[in-house]
């Protein structure tokens, strides 16, 4: 979805996106753990480790998106120069 968002920016179809990562984690090979439920880990180190792995995955995808923007030249710099990214997490 972030690649589609990048393409939308590149084609100037939009300059505003809202993106929310899915709460399920099966797509990254961790089974079907729920990110929100893992955030209520109660000090369980296994749940904390799973949560950290999910967070690293999400951050890597945002960084990749920012890299796409940074490598895209525009008249007075890069697309990243003209973009604000707000990333939040639990």
Q: Provide the residue ranges of all domains of the chain, joining segments of one domain with +.
A: 2-82
- Directed axis angle between helix 45-71 and helix 2-10, to 10°? 20
Report the pLDDT value the prediction gives residue 89, as an integer from 0 to 100: 76
HSE of 10, CA atoms in CB hemisphere, 13 A: 14
pLDDT at 72 exceeding the cut of 80: yes
Report the pLDDT value the prediction gives residue 18, as an integer from 0 to 100: 93
Q: How far is CA 67 from the centre of its chain?
A: 12
- The H or E element containing residue 49 is helix 45-71
pLDDT, tens digit, 9 for 90 and up, residues 21-69: 876 665 677 777 788 888 899 999 998 998 888 888 889 999 999 999 9
What does residue 66 show for φ and ψ, rounded to 5 degrees? -60, -35
Report the pLDDT value the prediction gives residue 62, as an integer from 0 to 100: 94
């Amino acid at each position: 979805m972030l690649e589609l968002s990048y393409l939308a920016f590149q084609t100037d179809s939009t300059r505003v996106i809202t993106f929310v990562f899915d709460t399920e984690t099966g797509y990254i090979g961790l089974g079907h753990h729920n990110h929100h439920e893992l955030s209520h880990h109660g000090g369980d180190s296994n749940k904390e480790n799973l949560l950290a792995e999910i967070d690293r995955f999400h951050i890597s995808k945002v960084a990749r998106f920012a890299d796409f923007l940074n490598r895209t030249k525009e008249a007075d710099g890069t697309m990243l120069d003209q973009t604000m990214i707000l990333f939040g997490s639990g």
